[in-house]
Structure 1
Amino acid sequence: MTAFHRHPAAPERRIAVIGSGIGGMAAAWYLSSRHRVTLFEADARLGGHTATMDVEVEGRHYAIDTGFIVFNDWTYPHFRHLMARLGVLTQPTEMSFSVHETARDFEYNGHTLTSLFAQRRNLLRPSFYRLLRDILRFNREAIQALENGTLAPAMTLGEWLDAGGYGATFQRHYLLPMGAAIWSASLQDLRDFPLQFFVRFFRHHGLLSVSDRPQWYTLVGGSRSYIPALTAPYAGGIRLSTPVRGIRRLADGVEVRTDAGTERFDEVVLACHADQALAMLEDPSPAEREILGALP
């Protein structure tokens, strides 16, 4: 992780960061080491998808993450370094996937062999063994196709599953609901996913292997525990409950318009969703309209 260090000849600039998810808070943290940062957040709290709720059960208190939950040692190198630098405590955890279908009294959990057959009738179901066989076949064939470069760029996941003859049980009780859980999407949304993106993501996160998987971690006290340390350097410049109504470029800076009025900054960082960014821009370029407008 590279930190910004003040250079004697580098003038301090006024920078607005719009959005207080991890992207906005991290950008503001790095930039605040040499610039004056103001962070705008429409909500009454910081964090975005970092949303920890306090729950009490039988006298015990739990910090339950409802948005950002876990990270791993394969695909989060910069986040891990940042947490270490901030002194935020982490702890190893386990990740598993389970399915329960009430309509036909069907369930399993893939974490261990015992939990896989926790519903003992699965031992006698030929369809369940076909499910396991399809899981192993999909993992093998997806890795081979990715390494051989034979994944068609325009093909969807659903088209590839159908062309490969993967059974309905595998699709509806394993692969599609797993993807739906990851991306908060419907099963049809997952069938329409670009095949290359889906396979690359599953490969990078160890989801195409039974044994070679990353170590997952959670933050002690919930994901919100990093917010105080990450916002401390620019705490005085945080504006909660302050939605940005418009952004306009000037010859020598940028205007940011809120309900409180208009302020001028040297630079603006948009740390929000694409549709939100496009709605704020009062003078978007053709490229910005095309790119931001193409992201749902």
Structure 2
Amino acid sequence: MRIGIIGAGAAGLTACWLLSENHDVTLFEKQDRLGGHAQTVEVEQDGQIIPIEAGFEFVMDSMFPTFIKLLGLLEVDLHRYPISATLYSRDQRTLTMMPPFNSGGIVWSALKPYQICNLIQLQLALTFARRLMDDRDTSITIEKYIERLPVLQSFKTHFLYPFLQAQWCVELDEFKQFAAYNALKYSAMNINGLQTPTGVEIVGGTQVYIRALAQASPRAVIKTSADISAITHSGNQYSVREANGQVSDFDHLIVATSPWDALRLLNDVDGMERRRQELSRFGSFKTVIAVHSDRRWMPAEKKYWAVSNMRYDEAYCHNTVWKKWKSPRPIFRSWVTFEKQIPDSLHALVDYQHVKINLDYYQAQQNLITQQGDQHLWLAGLYMHDIDSHESAVMSAVNIARQLDPESVNLGKLSVG
């Protein structure tokens, strides 16, 4: 079969790798690089290149089994590390470390009564959340869920909301409409008592795996800077026209972009009314990431520094990531979307659109899944499987490959469980 794939993020590249061994695959990417939200910024320090992630970053074994297996098949080197966290107010009057350890020892000043109370109530909240995960209940907002929790209101306002909000760095009123299932899953599946969650990172940055995945698809035609100007559909054949005028014909078409880009691409394609209706339900919000060396974006005392440093005020919560093993002198990655000033010692500033994970997200997702393969059109991307994660993007491609080429050797290798 001739298969066209539009979008070379995790979903598009994985679909290409799974399908190109037995089919003629052409992959189109409008940017001049591959990877989508897998974006590594290279910072030079003392003659060395330090890879810092500006896109997706946090990966855990429990939530990313297929993605981690893919990395193993690509023979990508991995590094596991403890994900510590500190949540503190902008005025630094309140601060909670999770767990209250640093450099292998206890930070006694992080064991005040209110801090211990926060940690106990967090475990209680996550115990209830695990029931939500087991039921895969996507019908309740995080606001409604938190309202029902049997914990102190002060804990909800000054700890739980900022702690969860920091994982997306979106406005509080917007965050309250997120699906509780999505907003809680990372924490519920990875935080257990005083045990530090374990993260997995790719040595050399996420671009290492992107390059390896592209190189593992030698039969595919991979085009960058390939902007699509038109898609037409006649019978079971698709014609894809690039901005340079070149036209390619396919038996199946996989659109592996964001939902809003998919909506734009399918806007004039006949027979796509139902898909367009569902795609229009996905909203987005802007995220701005700064890679920098400005210590003012961290807790005032270094003993409180963690991998994830969440600073909050009444409306916003911003996260700064610091991985001390990366470089001799600190390099940080901060969400700065709502900040009035960007950090000093700036190395890079990256912005992208992030999908809103509200109740419409899951309703549209389920409706689109029922339409997969109709008229030989497929949608791939993190919004097409479970929560918004890299694992979901990879799984969306796996689900398509199971339909188009169930005998794929690569698909068999990637199967988990």
Cα 1:162–1:241 change in 2 (3 A) is same
Q: Provide the C-alpha distance between the structure 1 equivalents of 2:74 and 2:184, rounded to a whole number of angstroms.
A: 34
Partner of 1:27: helix, strand, or coil?
helix
1:187 alignment partner in structure 2:
172
1:247 alignment partner in structure 2:
231
- How many Å apart are 1:236 and its aligned residue? 6.7
Q: Spell out the pairing of 1:1-296 with structure 2 (5 A cutoff).
A: 13-113=1-101, 118=107, 120=109, 123-124=111-112, 126-143=113-130, 154-164=139-149, 166-167=151-152, 169-200=154-185, 202-203=187-188, 205-207=189-191, 209-210=192-193, 215-232=198-215, 233-234=217-218, 237-261=221-245, 262-281=247-266, 282-283=268-269, 284-296=271-283
Q: Larger % of helix: which? A: 1
Q: Provide the C-alpha distance between the structure 1 equivalents of 2:90 and 2:107, rounded to a whole number of angstroms.
A: 15
Question: Which blocks of at least 5 consecutive residues in structure 2 are unaligned?
Answer: 284-417
- Bigger drift between 62-71 and 107-116 goes to 107-116
Q: Provide the C-alpha distance between the structure 1 equivalents of 2:40 and 2:141, rounded to a whole number of angstroms.
A: 35
Question: Which blocks of at least 5 consecutive residues in structure 1 are unaligned?
Answer: 1-12
Cα 1:84–1:130 change in 2 (3 A) is closer
Q: Provide the C-alpha distance between the structure 1 equivalents of 2:137 and 2:5, rounded to a whole number of angstroms.
A: 39
Q: Kindly tell me the number of residue pairs found equivalent between the two proteins.
A: 278
- How many Å apart are 1:288 and its aligned residue? 0.4
TM-score, normalised relative to structure 1: 0.81
TM-score, normalised relative to structure 2: 0.59
CA contact (8 A) 1:28 1:234 kept: no
**Percent of aligned positions with the same letter in both sequences?**
26
CA contact (8 A) 1:69 1:218 kept: yes
Q: Provide the C-alpha distance between the structure 1 equivalents of 2:227 and 2:152, rounded to a whole number of angstroms.
A: 48
Cα 1:59–1:76 change in 2 (3 A) is same
Cα 1:155–1:59 change in 2 (3 A) is same
Q: Provide the C-alpha distance between the structure 2 equivalents of 1:159 and 1:94, rounded to a whole number of angstroms.
A: 31
1:5 alignment partner in structure 2:
none
2:324 alignment partner in structure 1:
none
Cα 1:130–1:74 change in 2 (3 A) is closer
- Bigger drift between 56-65 and 164-173 goes to 164-173
Residues 13-43 of structure 1, C-alpha deviations (whole Å, 9 max, x = no match): 2221111111111111111101122111111
Cα 1:241–1:127 change in 2 (3 A) is same
Residues 202-236 of structure 1, C-alpha deviations (whole Å, 9 max, x = no match): 43x323x2257764211111111112221122487
